[in-house]
Every structure is written in structure tokens, then in C-alpha cells.
Amino acid sequence: MFKKPLGNLKTSAPLRGSDRRKFKQRVVTAFGVSQDEGDQLVPEGLQSIKFNTYLNEQGVAYLGPEGDPLWFTIGKGSDELIPTIYTLWKKQDLVPFVSTPPSVIPVLVGGADLMIRGVIQRPTQPIAKDQLVSVCQYDRKEEKLTLSAPLVIGRMAISSDQMTEDGKGKAVFVLHAWNDHLWNMGSKPDVPEPTVIAEATREGEDSGPQEPSTLEQEQEQLSPTQTSSSPHTTTIASYTPQAVTDILHKSLLHSISTILSSLPVSSFPIPSTQFYTNYILPYRPATTTNDVTIKNSTHKSLTTFLKAAEKASLLTLKSPQKHSQQKDLLVMSVNKTHPSVLGHVNYETVKDAEEKAAKKTKREELEKESGKRSELGVRLLWKPHLESTYLFESIGGDPKTLYTMQEIKALFNSYISSQNLANTNDKAYINLDDLLRECIDTKQESKQAMAGDEDKDASLLESEFIKREELVKRVIAKMQNWYEIVRNGETSQKKGTLKPIQVVTKVRQGRKASTYVTGFEPFVTVGPETMADELRRICASATSVSPLPGKEAGMKVMVQGKQSKAALEFLTSHGVPKQWIELVDR
């Protein structure tokens, strides 16, 4: 239903509090959940958005506060609430489930319905026709039988008691699936870890209770593989040669659709072995197992597979020359306008899953490293100086102490209260006394007032009141700037104005870009040379170090290319808070 993008999307509108409570009560009543579970499944901040499917069916999607679609309805005026995969992952037993082998899931994501022969498990309790049901993946991993979180939500095509092992026809009409276009509207988190439901055992071993149903055939093509006829053996679904062929063909279509069609002509020809390794195997569906290879297909050899693809006009081949050292067939071109390629629906591939896992590992390593290098504590401080020294002595402060903004405000609020200086008409204003007026007045302000400067209020000598925030701002302008940095429990305080680290990306001469990092000395303990070496390794780009021009002290680290993201990650990994890093593109 959502194998193509949603059309005619309307602006999302937030649900009123009363509507949200009614919505929650409908969920509690329809699905038999508790009030607390209802609050989890129907959170505050729910929004509704109208849409049309590619079949021109009208519907309404309900989005959570993070933008994830949680519920939807299909049909004009329909009030039947259907949970999305995001909601089913919050409460996986919200609806009954059936299970199916791994290779069926990509077929369902592509928009197909689940056939009876693709069902492996079903609940012991009967499921009525048209009842909502989820579809989970039944798999064997590391000698254990596992069941995934729900990956599909659909409606029963027949009642469960009508399903038989040799039955034909459809079991579930698919409404929405993981990785379809409704799913892609949300945050797309990783699939939850599967649940281990049994140990896979060999003949004669006691495996405990058996699964409630074993219809181990996949979509008319999967055949069951049994270790024995013993009642203690577990039946596992495996790929038939034809199923492997179909998956490899689908992988070829996906590769042509996504990557091969965008390669320049100069990238061809490609040796067949390289073509298979780089453009077919990585583009298998993420849910397939490692036994989906050419040798397990009906073709048995790569040459036969590629010649069948050439016969279908998907690509063109050329045999190697007789006396050439190259013995592989050469793939000369691919047909990106083939109807099968144009009609192909993209899915998550093995390569996508591996890249996601690698990013997750890298993120965990960075988080672990960041844990060792705790984030710096940064505070701005001010010290009484010149005109403000007498003021602080008079209002009970210590002129030798460093103050934070909050401490300055608290000190002045205490003085204002003790002297009853708050304006009776507006508490945001305070009446100036001689002590305050003497501190915040300057000769320049007096000259501006005498000259009739309209950009400022009348001279403070002639003013009787001022805003509290303006008073604090003017007093701080008379104080000395300091800052404090806490690193690994050690505190250092220095005089001066602390400025954020500048990460500036400049593009010159059309395409040449360089990234410059300056102002990092107060924050990081590594020197500029070490920083340059680290960024050179991370970015695989040339780096250099040079002093800043003029009297301003400090060094500048340059990295070739647009490397602001890498520089940001480097700095945050050394404990620099993000609010003290400014990214600029010029």
C-alpha cells in the first residue's frame, strides 16, 4: 500500500488535548491495553496529516512528537485505527502474529501479500478473517531459532483455522511494512534484536517444547529441510535453488537501479568476478543469509547467470580475447531503462546493513572515548574593576571575587530589595540611586545626551529608572572579563574574553575548498601539530599549521576539503561543548 511515496500530503495539524484523550480511549478499547500503555502508544503532541496512496485511497496518518508515524487509517471517513511498525515495536504483542522465513520479508516490503505457504507459525488462538495481524521473521542464527520484531502489519485474508500445509492462496493482505514509504517518514531506527524462541538441536537431542506450527514453505518456492523425522528435531526453512536465483536477480535489478546506472561510461567494462563481488552480493536484501550465492542457485555458475541476464536485455557481455590474460567475461554496459529496473522497489541491502553496523560501532567507540574524556565545564566570569569596584564594596560584594552572571544578578536583586528601588509601576524597572548612577554613567554617554543623540535614551544623569537587565548589562561592561574551564576535575581560571572555536570552510577558485580551525587553544590540551596530524589521518587530506596574522596570538590549522563535520567530531571527542564551536561557510 505504501510501496510508492504518499501523495497530496496536507499540512500536519496538532490534536487538541480532548481529541488526544478520545484517541487514546479508542486504542485502549480496540486493543485491550491498559491506560498506562495507552499513554505510551498515544503520546502527548500527536499530530494528524492527510494523504492519498498511489491507488488514490484517502487516509490519515498520526505522527508522534518526534515525527514518527504511529497510527493510520485508510478509506474516506474510516475510523479503524491501524498501528504502524513504530507502534508495534513499542508493544510487540499488540496484535496477533504469524511468522515467515527471511527471504519472504523483502517480497512483502516490495508490496506483495503473504501467501499461505509462506507462513511458518501462527498463534494457537484462532484469528478471524479481516483481523489485523503482524508478520515476524522466523530465522535460525547461531544454532538458535529466533523471532524478529513485527516487520509487517496486514489483514487476514482467511481465518487461521482454514490454513493447511498444502493450502494455496493468500494468508495476509499487507497494509504497511518496515522500510516502505510510510516507515520512511519517521526516524528509521534499527530493527530491535530478535527474540530467541528455541534451541536448534540435532537428531535425538531433547529440544524442549515444539513451536506451535511448522508450515515451512516460502511463497510456493521454499521447501522444508529436516534433520530427521524424530519428534525431537526442529524443522528449519531453507532456500530452494529457484529462490536463490530470484534473490540474486532482484539484487542485480537493485544494483542497476541504484549504483550501476550512475557510473560513468569509463567505468566499463567490468570483469564478471568483480561485477559479482562488488555489484551483486552487497546488494542482496539485508534479511538474506550467506548461503544465497551463485553455487546454490539454479544457474550454478556466474557465467550462466550473467548470460541469462544478457538474454533478458539487462546487460551486455563480451568474451575475453583468446590470448588475453583476462579469463573472465566482461560486462560492457547495463540497461537502466529496462522495465524491470524502472519498476524495481528499493530495499535495505546487505551493504546498507553493514554500513549501518559500522557507523553504530564507530559511534559507540566515540561515545566510549568521550566517556574517558569528559566534556569540559566552561563558565564565564567577571571581576569588579575601576568604577565597579566601589559599587561592589558598597552593596556588600567582594571586589576581589570572580562572579558568574547569576551571582551578579542575585547581588543586585538583594541590594534593590534592601533599598526599595523597584519601580512601583513596573517591577522590571528599578529607580536609580546615586550609587548606581555614578557607576554606570560615562562621560561619553553624557556628551551623547547633551548632543541630543536619539539612538539612546536620555542621559542616565537625567534618568530616574532603568530596566534590571539593562542595569546588569551596563555594570558588567565596567567589569573585567574572566573565564573558567574545568577539565578532568582540574579548574583553571584566566583573564580575558573567551571566544568560541571557529571552524570556517572557504571555497576558492570554483571547486577548491579548505577548512580552517582557530581559537582552540583554551579548550584542548593537544597542540596544533598534533591536531593537524589527527585531522590528516581522519580526513585523509593534507593539513598545515600557521600562526594567525597580526598581533592576535594563536595558531591556525588548515585541512584541505570541506571537513567541518570531521573537525566538529574531533573537537567534541576532546570534550569541547558544541555550543563553543561555530561552523561557518564562506
**Which run of H or of E encompasses 175?**
strand 170-177
Q: Is the dihedral of CA 386, 387, 393, 397 positive or negative?
A: negative
What the block records as the C-alpha cell of 292 is 544465497
279-to-272, 322, 423, 446 alpha-carbon distances in Å: 10, 26, 76, 77
What the block records as the C-alpha cell of 334 is 547495463
Whether the CB-CB separation of 64 and 101 falls below 8 Å is answered with no
The string of DSSP letters for 21-82 reads: HHHHHHHHHHHT--HHHHHHHS-TT-EEEEEE-TT--EEEEEE-TTS-EEEEEESTT----E
DSSP tag of 551:
S
AA identity, residue 572: T
DSSP reduced 3-state for 403: strand
Question: Per residue in 38-90, pLDDT tens?
Answer: 999 999 889 999 988 888 889 999 999 888 999 999 988 888 899 999 999 99
DSSP tag of 7:
B
DSSP reduced 3-state for 422: strand
The CATH superfamily of 373-441+463-497 is: SWIB/MDM2 domain (1.10.245.10)
Among residues 98, 216, 191, 77, the alpha carbon closest in space to that of 153 is found at: 98
In CATH terms, the fold of domain 1-197 is Sulfate adenylyltransferase (3.10.400)
**Which run of H or of E encompasses 466?**
strand 465-467
Q: What pLDDT tens digit does each residue of the chain (586 aa) get?
A: 788 888 877 766 788 888 899 999 999 988 888 988 999 999 988 999 998 888 888 999 999 988 899 999 998 888 889 999 999 999 999 999 999 988 888 888 888 899 888 888 776 677 888 899 999 998 887 778 888 999 999 999 998 878 776 677 889 999 999 988 898 888 888 889 888 876 544 433 433 333 333 333 333 333 333 333 333 333 334 578 888 898 999 999 999 999 999 998 888 999 998 999 999 999 998 877 778 899 989 999 999 999 999 999 999 999 887 777 777 899 999 999 999 999 888 888 988 888 888 777 776 666 665 555 567 889 999 999 988 999 999 998 898 999 999 999 999 999 998 999 988 888 888 998 888 888 887 544 444 444 454 444 444 444 678 898 999 999 999 999 999 999 878 889 999 999 999 999 998 776 788 999 999 999 988 889 989 988 988 888 889 999 888 766 789 999 998 899 999 999 988 889 999 999 998 8
Beta-bridge partner residues of 59: 51, 74
**Which run of H or of E encompasses 338?**
none
Q: How far apart are CA 353 and CA 38, in angstroms?
A: 33
DSSP reduced 3-state for 283: helix
Q: Domain 499-585 - what CATH class?
A: alpha beta
The two most distant CA atoms of the chain are separated, in Å, by 106
Question: Per residue in 88-135, pLDDT tens?
Answer: 999 999 999 999 988 888 888 888 899 888 888 776 677 888 899 999
Domain ranges of the chain: 1-197, 241-352, 373-441+463-497, 499-585
